Structure 1
Amino acid sequence: MASHSTGDGGIPKRGVGKNGLKRVMSLGGAYGTRNYTIKDLRDCKGKRTLVETLPFSTEEAAAAEEAGIDTMKVRFDPNQPELAANIRQAAPNTFMAFSVPLVAAASEVEAVRLGYQAMSIGADAIMCQWSPKFISAAADAGIPIQGHAGLVPRKSTWTGGLRAVGKVLDEAVWIYNEIKTLEEAGAYAVEVEVIPEQLLSEISKRTTLITSSIGGGSGGDIQFLFADDILGNNAPPYPRHSKQYRNLFKMRQDMQLERVEGFKEFIAEVQNGKFPEKKHIIEAPSGLIEDFLAKI
């Protein structure tokens, strides 16, 4: 990857705009091209709904970029950064927010360090479940931060478990205040999970944050679904807010059955003397075997 920090040039050529791309330099000093910048995303707010996914493999990331997904989230493990780095390389032109583990930072300093680590391998932003103090520190350090509100699964013990949030007045007001607090802390966006559609719609009108809806209906600025759900990678049950556009789980089951049947047929043909056939073997030239036997 061309990088200003290592002095190896590689500034993207002019004219990429005709392909809908922007020339960028990452916070880590790497040159590249992206379909969106933070400014572009902010400019889209209230004008059109963007689409977002979270791929779990390089194949999914490449397919999502080719299909025209606007933005992606990518899970970032600081102990195995190559997993996120490979996804970054598989979809080099798509805006990506790396989702960092909640427990990987225990102080403002660690939050900034973790953010810089993710940005250095190609993240365009960080998605987190951090406290406003951590978000403020990272934002002050120049890291674009996306927060999380509504149902935050890792903190769901505070909201009654894995269930919809915001169906009563106190919860609705709490979600709004949480989002405004993230806004004041310097975040640029917030993922809002499993709240009433109408509530998210009203909140989106009252915050400068870009709202990414997962289970919040059409009330957000971005419609977000996991690649697992879009592609039907797993067996039922599925999250209520999700939709399966393909059934790759069944395809994998069918492929496994085909593997089993293939091995069974191979075993049977060997045992019955049907394999190998004449077309599968190498015939010895005339006289070779006689000469061989005489020699030994």
Structure 2
Amino acid sequence: MGLYHTRPTVADIRAMKARGQKISMLYVTTLEEAAAANAAGIDMLSIEGRFFSPEMREAAGNCFVQVGLPFGPFGKLATAEDYLREAFRFMAIGADCIYCAASLDIQKALCDNAVPVIAHVGLIPSQATWTGGFKAVGKTAESARAVWDHVKRLEAIGCFGAELEVVPDRVGEVISKSTPLIMLGMGAGAGADAQYLFAEDVLGHTAGHKPRHAKTYRNFAAEFARLQQQRVAAFKEFISDVETGAYPAPQHAVPITDAEFERFAAGIKA
């Protein structure tokens, strides 16, 4: 099928919101995760630009894919031209929308060039110092109003949607119902348009802090630990075989006929 699949468009995602259909969304980093999400029927994927490739787009199949542009100095993107160049590159590969948490003027430049933009409101990891670090945002009337105002500014510049991260559920519901933007909820309650989790949390192999909103469905950490033990055991057996001469065995070697070997040996003695 190549890079092109029958997958949702921006208009389709908007229609899902309009009819109240809940959207499932996962952050993935590997071809295997993307392929599994497609096979399971996940609606949307979030993939950082550093992981996105034609192979990843192919693995994602019918999933609507958001590709993340790194913020500012972390990704060496600084100007609107930098962001546009990267956005167009990823759209050419098959991104369905672009995540961008840069300034409003940069986000507007993307929107003005018909790039479907997903912004970020609430807890914005790259800007968390301004809201007190990695904690919930919107727990006071003033803080919740700031999230609301941010969403309204995003509407005005033409954004397609926004990640709505770690805000009170009632605030998330009011905002989601009061905007045409697709609100991708991560710890924002059941009223958000999409429920967005990291695949590593769903599969139970999170490294470091596991957020309160995460839900684990499988214990891959135990399986990965078992596989690591098996790797070590296999490598030790290989070392033993090398030291004892058990490897390589005759079946691992390339044969040569006696006649050809004798000709070779005679040739090097001449």
After TM superposition, the score normalised by the length of structure 1 is 0.76
Which residue of 2 is the match for residue 87 of structure 1? Answer: 56
Which residue of 2 is the match for residue 63 of structure 1? Answer: 36
Which residue of 2 is the match for residue 101 of structure 1? Answer: 70
Q: Could you tell me how far apart the structure 1 residues matched to 2:96 and 2:220 are?
A: 30
The CA RMSD measured in Å over matched residues stands at 2.6
Aligned residue pairs, count: 249
Going by fraction, where is helix more abundant, 1 or 2?
2
Which residue of 2 is the match for residue 241 of structure 1? Answer: 213
The structural deviation recorded for 1:92 is 2.9
Match of 1:75 among 21, 24, 48: 48
SS class of match (2:212):
coil
Q: Does residue 174 of the first structure (1) align with residue 143 of the second (2)?
A: no
Q: Which amino acid aligns with 1:169?
A: A
Q: Please list the CA deviations of residues 162-219 of structure 1 after superposition, one character each: whole Å capped at 9, or x if unmatched.
A: 1111101111000000011111110011100011111100111111101000111212
Change (3 A) 1:34 1:226: farther
Q: Does residue 143 of the first structure (1) align with residue 115 of the second (2)?
A: yes
SS class of match (1:36):
coil
For residues 1-296 of structure 1, the aligned pairs below 5 Å read 32-46=4-18, 47-77=20-50, 83-103=52-72, 104-235=76-207, 237-263=209-235
Q: Could you tell me how far apart the structure 2 residues matched to 1:140 and 1:271 are?
A: 66
SS class of match (2:210):
coil
Q: Please list the CA deviations of residues 132-171 of structure 1 after superposition, one character each: whole Å capped at 9, or x if unmatched.
A: 2111111111111011000001100100001111101111
Q: Could you tell me how far apart the structure 1 residues matched to 2:167 and 2:16 are?
A: 22
Q: Which amino acid aligns with 1:137?
A: A
Segments of structure 2 that go 5 or more residues without pairing to the other structure are 252-257, 259-270
SS class of match (1:257):
helix
How high is the sequence identity, in percent, across the aligned residues?
A: 37
Change (3 A) 1:209 1:106: same
Segments of structure 1 that go 5 or more residues without pairing to the other structure are 3-30, 283-287, 289-296
Q: Please list the CA deviations of residues 248-290 of structure 1 after superposition, one character each: whole Å capped at 9, or x if unmatched.
A: 12111111122334455677799999x79xxx878xxxxx9xx
After TM superposition, the score normalised by the length of structure 2 is 0.83
